[in-house]
Chain A
Amino acid sequence: EIVLTQSPGTLSLSPGERATLSCRASQSVSSNYLAWYQQKPGQAPRLLIYGASSRATGIPDRFSGSGSGTDFTLTISRLEPEDFAVYYCQQYGDSSYTFGQGTKLEIK
């Protein structure tokens, strides 16, 4: 099973700043199979990015994804107050799906 490790565990930034979240896989992942989600307290997760770099419907262009192989990144170019949440990466492989443990993005 492919293990996804997200870093940092918690990221403290201010609105307007740039956020860079990392997701590292224990073995190579096809870019098609890497996605990112946002979850706010008390809410279901929401798909942000799929195929490593494609934005889901309705997702603002300040969110972008990149990477390949074992290293993937979610970047939020200029943080808005509503962006403070927990972010998860997710991969597919061998008829199974795994998530990273999450990065909490909090207001500094």
Chain B
Amino acid sequence: EVQLVESGGGLVKPGGSLRLSCAASGFTFSNAWMTWVRQAPGKGLEWVGRIKSKTDGGTTDYAAPVKGRFTISRDDSKNTLYLQMNSLKTEDTAVYYCTTLRRWHFDLWGRGTLVTVSS
């Protein structure tokens, strides 16, 4: 079955760090461009960042609100995508979705993991 499963969410204090994981199965993960998209409670969707496949350079791009604080990486041997979040702010509170990226649109989505930043 083709699926993405996120994990690692939870409650963290402002200024803290958290690492999310996304386990992929049912497709060739190493060939896939991957992204993280988040959704604050009751709000719309916001793109967080993307990582290209290694064959396409493996480079990353980030949305302005998270640039310099968040880092996306991948381990193709484990079919896993990561999101390292540092210097967390209350406005980072959201459900974080892992998705495959077909260059310009988000194809397969995980079910999401909730990150709450609160003191």
Contacts and interface: CB of A to CB of B under 8 A. Distances in A.
A37 B47 contact: no
Interface string B73-117: 000000000000000000000000100001111110111100000
B106 A96 contact: no
Interface of A is mostly: strand
B47 A98 contact: yes
Given A33-B104, A37-B106, A45-B106, A97 B47 contact: yes
A96 B48 CA distance: 9
B106 A35 contact: yes
A96 B50 CA distance: 9
Given A44-B97, A96-B47, A100-B44, A90 B109 contact: no
A47 interface: yes
Contacts of A43: 111
Contacts of A46: 109
A44 B61 CA distance: 23
A46 B45 CA distance: 12
A20 interface: no
22 contacts: A33-B105, A35-B105, A35-B106, A39-B45, A43-B111, A44-B97, A44-B109, A44-B111, A45-B37, A45-B106, A45-B109, A47-B106, A47-B107, A51-B104, A90-B106, A92-B103, A95-B61, A96-B47, A96-B63, A97-B47, A97-B106, A99-B45
Q: Which are the 10 A-B pairs with shortest beta-carbon distances? A: A35-B105, A97-B47, A92-B104, A44-B109, A99-B45, A50-B105, A95-B61, A33-B104, A102-B44, A101-B44
Interface of A: 32-33, 35, 37, 39, 43-47, 50-51, 56, 88, 90, 92, 95-102
Given A35-B105, A92-B104, 8 more contacts: A35-B106, A44-B110, A45-B45, A88-B45, A96-B47, A96-B61, A97-B35, A100-B44
